[in-house]
Amino acid sequence: MAFVTKIKWVVLSVMALSVGSIIIHLSLAKFWAVNIGQYKVLPSLSQDLRPYVKNKKLWGSVKSLEALQPYAKARSNCSVPKEQSNGFIYAKVFGGFAKTRSSICDLVAISRLLNATLVIPEIQESTRSKGTSLKFKSFSYVYNEEEFIAYLKNDVIIAKTLPESLMERRERNEFPTFKPKSSASPNFYIKEILPKLKKSKVIELIIANAGALQSILPPNMAEIQRLRCRIAFHALQFRPEIQMLGRQMVNKLRALGKPFLAYHPGLLRDTLAYNGCAELFQDVHTELIQQRRAQMIKEGILKEELIVDSHLQRDKGLCPLMPEEVGILLRVMGYSSKTIIYLAGSETFGGQRILIPLRAMFTNTVDRTSLCSEKELSDLVGPEIPLPQNIFRPPPSKREEELKEEWKRAGPRPRPLPPPPGRPIYQHEKEGWYGWITETPTEPDPSLMDLRMQAHRLLWDALDYIVSLEADAFIPGFNNDNSGWPDFSSLVMGHRLYETASFRTYRPYRKKVVELFNITRENLYHPKHNWTTLVQEHLNKSLSEEGLIRQSLLSKPAMFLSHPLPECSCRIASENVASNRVRGKDGRFLYGDEDQCPKWIQAGSLAKEGVKSEDDSQPDYESNDFVIESDKDGGKSDQTPLWDQQDEEMDPND
């Protein structure tokens, strides 16, 4: 009897526990449903976002660069005449975000050089003829016109439009037109352009090669270089709607309580085709790159063979670091799988498939679609004219009489059996790149939707530019690509160097990185300890002076804004930071020739140094679950550390 009573008590206890468990689970489900609803704008973020301890070894500032401060103010008291100018410069700018931004800076510098009045340039990617919103003009589609004119009022005279008398001449095409090269020298403008400007009072410049003035100018033109910095880093402000949405994106990332890293793959079809990187991709993407490369050769943009060894190009550092490789580099550095990575770039050639390895390594990889709703993005674009629908029409079917006539004309008997009936032709096989690459040998002209999407990419790149500047760390996948065109990553790196040089901006030298990957190509996810040490040394050195010197050698000759040192910076005198003056083979200073900062900058910096950094007492490294194997020989390696070798000065074309 006592045994039966015990069994009853056990059964009652189990039932009570079951009922309690159900109540608890229902309560938790209701609680989590509310929380998930609050964060639905970030669907790709992992739910494991516990309070985070900032790691100074991964997110802290670079101490050796803290003495560098932004200082693009004119050093001499030179003013621009307000009334008398030599004429008007009217310009049309072609290209994407990076090309147009660099070209606008060159145009203002040329106007200053020629003492001319600059008419607000027309950005051809966003003109009304392509069906973008009528709410904005071409320049104001991306940038703030009023801010642009107001900030540069003491440097260059800027007009919104040509005077009416000159507008009539423009409609009749009576004034001279020039298409300057991106490497045009100041002498070209002074000797060739200035006389015609004075004579006709107006000229038109067509900027199609991503720039109109050579990057490195003589030392006596340092003020022109500083003017470029004032344009790019101060005057060229995005229109208020873009700035507001960009700040909202940054605030959403900051609200998560963790620092974040921005990564730009740099996978653009044009740069891949220019450098011959087709074999790094698969299937039809290889064909698309080769098709574009053939077009470049035909147009005279490229003077090389159509077929090149992509793997040899990669070993030279001329091809991008793939997203998988960048992910491995970050994991080796110590970034955990929960690190928030913002994926910048309005276009990633290869699509989402090529990003799968990176997203697998870092589950909190987000982009603008993760941080913005569709309504926010559509409001940024503005009201647009609806485009005519591209209705798919299958080939016309043949009548029975026509089929009989073809059969009679088919030739003598015996005849082979007729072919089987054709499979259905799907719409996607006749539209877009899939259709033309399988049907026609040449690429068709872009459709109205293609042109509209090119304009939209200006806005998406502007948003990504804002987030990349604010990121706690930035790493490029493909910059200094040897094409001579400005690229997004180089612009961001130059702007971060100007604003706060001590921000963590990785500057990997791709040729060395490829050598490192070739050492352990068969064990990428199980590297040996000495290999990870080499990678960490490489990336840590790329953050500091060594990376800046290399950047000055490789990037600055193509685009000044990618490395605005020493012209646009000053140095704070400090006993703790020593300045090494480094010259290149051409005699120009690569690093360390910055002016001493004025007293008001020095005072502001000393006030900041008095505040203890929030991460001074934090641990050095995050927990990292990246698998590292020990060497069989006790951690010693037969490989000579690549960064212990004396690097000779690099040729930009190497």
Q: Which residue has the higher pLDDT, 639 or 343?
A: 343
- Residue 377 placed within a domain: yes
- Residue 641 placed within a domain: no
For residue 158, the cross-strand partners are 118
Report residue 57's pLDDT band, with 50, 70 and 90 as the boundaries. confident
Does residue 254 share a domain with residue 205? Answer: no
Distance (Å, whole) CA 74 – CA 548: 24
Cα separation values, 230 from 145, 159, 515, 564, 595, Å: 15, 18, 39, 11, 17
The two three-digit tokens of residue 414, written as one number: 């015996």
Mean pLDDT, rounded, for 488-506: 94
Does residue 314 share a domain with residue 214? Answer: no
> Which is it for strands 589-591 and 582-583: parallel, antiparallel or unpaired?
antiparallel
The two three-digit tokens of residue 575, written as one number: 């006993």
- Residue 70 placed within a domain: no
Mean pLDDT, rounded, for 479-500: 89
Candidate from 337-346, 358-367, 395-404 with smallest mean pLDDT: 395-404
Does residue 252 share a domain with residue 122? Answer: no
Per-residue pLDDT, 391: 59
Per-residue pLDDT, 110: 94
Distance (Å, whole) CA 475 – CA 323: 11
Q: Is 439 left (phi over 0), alpha (psi -120 to 50) or beta?
A: alpha
In terms of C-beta density within 10 A (0-12 exposed, 13-18 middle, 19 or more buried), how is residue 547 classed?
buried
pLDDT at 573 over 80: no
The string of DSSP letters for 73-94 reads S-SS-----SS--S-EEEEEE-
- Residue 619 placed within a domain: no
Mean pLDDT, rounded, for 441-447: 79
Answer with the one of 187, 222, 238 that is the final residue of a domain.
238
Does residue 275 share a domain with residue 147? Answer: no
Q: Are 591 and 29 in contact (CB under 8 A)?
A: no
Mean pLDDT, rounded, for 531-551: 93
- Residue 221 placed within a domain: yes
pLDDT at 648 over 60: no
CATH of the domain at 115: 3.40.50
Q: Are 455 and 465 in contact (CB under 8 A)?
A: no
Distance (Å, whole) CA 458 – CA 98: 9
Mean pLDDT, rounded, for 421-435: 69
Residue type, 226: R
- Residues making up the chain, counted from first to last: 654
Report residue 619's pLDDT band, with 50, 70 and 90 as the boundaries. very low
Say how many C-beta atoms besides its own lie within 10 A of residue 54's C-beta. 17
Q: Are 462 and 246 in contact (CB under 8 A)?
A: yes
- What is the pTM assigned to this prediction? 0.83
Does residue 539 share a domain with residue 508? Answer: yes
Residue for token pair 């006539």: 405
Q: What's the DSSP call for residue 445? A: P
Work out the end-to-end distance of the chain between its first and last CA atoms, rounded to an integer number of angstroms: 93
Residue type, 306: L
Does residue 252 share a domain with residue 113? Answer: no
Per-residue pLDDT, 79: 56
pLDDT at 380 over 80: yes
Mean pLDDT, rounded, for 146-152: 94
Residue type, 65: L
Mean pLDDT, rounded, for 30-58: 48
Does residue 229 share a domain with residue 172? Answer: yes
| Closest C-alpha to 551, from 487, 609, 608 | 487
Segments forming the whole domain that contains residue 551 = 241-269+309-382+450-604
Does residue 281 share a domain with residue 199? Answer: no
Per-residue pLDDT, 646: 36
Mean pLDDT, rounded, for 566-578: 76
Mean pLDDT, rounded, for 615-637: 48
pLDDT at 621 over 50: no
Per-residue pLDDT, 642: 33
Say how many C-beta atoms besides its own lie within 10 A of residue 169's C-beta. 15
Say how many C-beta atoms besides its own lie within 10 A of residue 53's C-beta. 10
Does residue 274 share a domain with residue 153? Answer: no
- Residue 84 placed within a domain: yes
Q: What domain count does the chain have?
A: 3
For residue 264, the cross-strand partners are 476
Candidate from 299-313, 430-444, 554-568 with smallest mean pLDDT: 430-444
In terms of C-beta density within 10 A (0-12 exposed, 13-18 middle, 19 or more buried), how is residue 496 classed?
buried
Per-residue pLDDT, 117: 93
Answer with the one of 289, 308, 327 that is the final residue of a domain.
308
Does residue 569 share a domain with residue 540? Answer: yes
In terms of C-beta density within 10 A (0-12 exposed, 13-18 middle, 19 or more buried), how is residue 13 classed?
exposed
Mean pLDDT, rounded, for 370-398: 81
Does residue 600 share a domain with residue 515? Answer: yes
Cα separation values, 161 from 81, 88, 109, 170, Å: 19, 10, 19, 12
pLDDT at 49 over 60: no
Give the rounded distance of the alpha carbon of 56 from its chain centre.
26
Q: What is the 3-state secondary structure (H, E, C) of 472-526?
A: CEEEECCCCCCCCCCCHHHHHHHHHHHHCCCCEECCCCHHHHHHHHHHCHHHCCC
Candidate from 73-87, 99-113, 347-361, 439-453 with smallest mean pLDDT: 73-87
For residue 205, the cross-strand partners are 91, 178
Question: pLDDT of 473-484, one tens digit each?
Answer: 999 999 887 777
Per-residue pLDDT, 104: 95
Bond into 566 cis (ω within 30):
yes
Does residue 251 share a domain with residue 204? Answer: no
- Residue 490 placed within a domain: yes
Give the rounded distance of the alpha carbon of 448 from its chain centre.
25
Distance (Å, whole) CA 397 – CA 400: 10
Bond into 186 cis (ω within 30):
no
Answer with the one of 288, 308, 328 that is the final residue of a domain.
308
**Which of 184-188, 518-522, 578-582, 612-616 is the most confident on average?**
184-188
- Residue 129 placed within a domain: yes
Report residue 647's pLDDT band, with 50, 70 and 90 as the boundaries. very low
For residue 93, the cross-strand partners are 123, 207
Mean pLDDT, rounded, for 332-359: 92
Instruction: Kindly state the percentage of the chain with pLDDT values over 90.
Output: 46
**Which of 27-31, 171-175, 188-192 is the most confident on average?**
188-192
